[in-house]
Structure 1
């Protein structure tokens, strides 16, 4: 007989749960036998006591099986099913370039993405800036687009890992979001449910990341890699820097524009492409589409510069209901903010730091993110021409950024916050490699 309180008691007292106990609890979470109070108590017990690797794997498998699991075996795709997941950042539009690049190299990418959370932007919100784009298609449409185009950037349907949806909502209001064990199960359950054959994780570290230290970021990356591989999903993680905005934009429509420009021109912000290229290389090696990381990097470069990745992006947008000329005329289709204004430094010098989290919160305050789950997002607002670390700025030089705001009052408040978040000094800081580390199966 299943008694949720017994499962909670075992974990509360520091015991190890077996596979059946975990599976029963997650089944009860899905069908309603477990109450919200019991789910909250379970989350807190895991938060305080932790889980062993075997428990994490059992939790992951149970959450994956709580809903529909995609099977690509009968789709005859002709290539591996691959994906990437980022733990979130400011200006992180990597997915928009990465998915079509990997598709152009022979991979198939059912990229199930999420909305913005806290100070970080969400890939799903960015894609919904494209008029007509169906970001929440049914499973049949997802399968068709992935099969025909090679990639689809969409949100999760209600039947993908429903246990995670319920448990996450409870964690969000019970101060248990930061549990590494529960983060691992949450991230990986949706990826396993997508039927992947390889997964690369982009775990952010720095002042704009959710993990507040390099040690915590590495611990999360290690847990993700161990648990993913333990559940039978080949998994690799990269640690990448989030001590400054990634790329030159932060927002929704403005990040789509930067991504399309990179796809069209075959070039763009060097840090953005460095992270995208390295993640693509890892995906291609996991999918056996390249024999080495060096060979994979060359394939990724060719896919971007040849224009084939841009073609894949356009085909994806068209297949999901967006404009058929979006890549060529994206500026005509994307929404525009009423107020566009430069923000200039009060003194000449070099940008010495980004308070990246604060910059992300500026976008949220402009309306580009949410303070409540039900709030709408203003896709037009954000920042462009964000000065990278080391950029020479000043009253007559380059601006700190260009604001895209809903009104003059919001622009005034945002400008003050940007000046505080982007200090200027006399010395140019040293360049930083955006790739901080790699964690693979031991």
Structure 2
């Protein structure tokens, strides 16, 4: 890591950065690699601050395309089920594209989804890894620069950001801290010539039940086919609201969304057949339940749940996808002994360790939980 970036991280951790310095850092990170030169003003994207169970970075891009936006999307891989991580599990899908290939994909289907690294924003990818190593991932000023550098690199003009508010969040552990960081994000975006909206969501409980790369891909297939369950449908409604905040209050056509998603998969080297085959294989591998050992109300520690999935996913090259879960019980619901909490997918050799880690992420007690916080919107 370059000494200048190490110094910036230290200042951000110990005192914070002025708006102008955050904007300058975003520009420098974007300038470290190639850029897409998109003069049109119809580009848009919805990013997130990270955290498990929300599928906004996977579901929102084809929705935006369906309402007439172009979506050049640059992400940092490494999450249990970030958008680029999920698409990268599709056999043949290419996430590492150069400028020419990215422009060709965008011209074909108005949507390209690639990872930061060798071609685009390599300094941001390196800085992200360094932040993880030194415990500076959840520093809002650095997260803002990182997020906006990727929008600069691919020419996004209209930016939505899902701010996932929880103890494990990168924009603060509660809504007061998240509002402050969200206002700063919008201020910096304005300095950089972008229109920005932040949507604050309660990430203290699961947004939907499919947790893991393959599981998120299965959820994606169910949504595209109109076969989502009620819990996933509620999350889809939240994602639709996010799209409306930056793309205009129009109804998203499900067929157009599905068409946009499949066209992108095919343009980036995958195929509809392989996408569906792999999603169906994930569903078939979910045959083992994790059972409640006591009666009471269910709580999830999503930080522990995320870590359990990451540790069980494997360390193979590319987008490792050895493990995941499908939740059967919502946070706050009451269960009885022997009731199924979730189903597990993992190699047999890792099952006992994975199940123990999952149990440590689930608490069942006699106290009912309250309702989740409502969404909030921050415009500047």
Whether the 8 Å CA contact 2:182–2:378 is kept in 1: the answer is yes
Q: Where in structure 1 are there 5+ consecutive unaligned residues?
A: 1-34, 286-294
Query: Residues of 2 paired with 1:333 and 1:319: CA distance?
Result: 23
- What is the CA distance between 1:114 and its match in structure 2? 1.9
- What is the CA distance between 1:193 and its match in structure 2? 1.4
After TM superposition, list the pairs within 5 Å mapping 1:77-226 onto structure 2.
Answer: 80-117=42-79, 121-210=81-170, 211-226=172-187
Which moves more between the two structures, 92-101 or 226-235? 92-101
Give the CA RMSD over aligned residues: 2.7
Report what 1:439 is aligned to.
Answer: 378
1:133-176 alpha-carbon deviations (Å, 9 max, x no partner): 11222222222222221222221352323333344444444444
Query: Residues of 1 paired with 2:221 and 2:135: CA distance?
Result: 38
Report what 1:309 is aligned to.
Answer: 257
* Residues matched between the structures, number: 377
Query: Residues of 2 paired with 1:217 and 1:345: CA distance?
Result: 34
- What is the CA distance between 1:225 and its match in structure 2? 0.9
Change (3 A) 1:378 1:64: closer
Q: Confirm whether residue 284 of structure 1 aligns to residue 255 of structure 2.
A: no
After TM superposition, list the pairs within 5 Å mapping 1:21-100 onto structure 2.
Answer: 36-73=2-39, 80-100=42-62
1:241-266 alpha-carbon deviations (Å, 9 max, x no partner): 11122211111111100111012116
- What is the CA distance between 1:274 and its match in structure 2? 3.2
Q: Confirm whether residue 356 of structure 1 aligns to residue 302 of structure 2.
A: yes
Query: Residues of 1 paired with 2:4 and 2:192: CA distance?
Result: 26
TM-score (normalised: structure 1): 0.77
Change (3 A) 1:177 1:430: closer
Query: Residues of 1 paired with 2:88 and 2:267: CA distance?
Result: 14
1:296-340 alpha-carbon deviations (Å, 9 max, x no partner): 3xx12xx22xx2211211111111111233565554566975x74
- What is the CA distance between 1:106 and its match in structure 2? 0.7
Query: Residues of 2 paired with 1:38 and 1:330: CA distance?
Result: 44
Q: Confirm whether residue 233 of structure 1 aligns to residue 191 of structure 2.
A: no
| Larger Rg belongs to | 1
Whether the 8 Å CA contact 1:69–1:193 is kept in 2: the answer is yes
Q: Please state whether the residue corresponding to 1:423 is helix, strand or coil.
A: strand
Q: Please state whether the residue corresponding to 1:389 is helix, strand or coil.
A: coil
- What is the CA distance between 1:349 and its match in structure 2? 3.5
Change (3 A) 1:394 1:315: same
Whether the 8 Å CA contact 2:214–2:279 is kept in 1: the answer is no
Query: Residues of 2 paired with 1:259 and 1:319: CA distance?
Result: 18
Q: Please state whether the residue corresponding to 2:272 is helix, strand or coil.
A: coil
Q: Please state whether the residue corresponding to 1:201 is helix, strand or coil.
A: strand
Q: Please state whether the residue corresponding to 1:189 is helix, strand or coil.
A: helix
Whether the 8 Å CA contact 1:241–1:434 is kept in 2: the answer is yes
Query: Residues of 2 paired with 1:341 and 1:219: CA distance?
Result: 43
TM-score (normalised: structure 2): 0.89
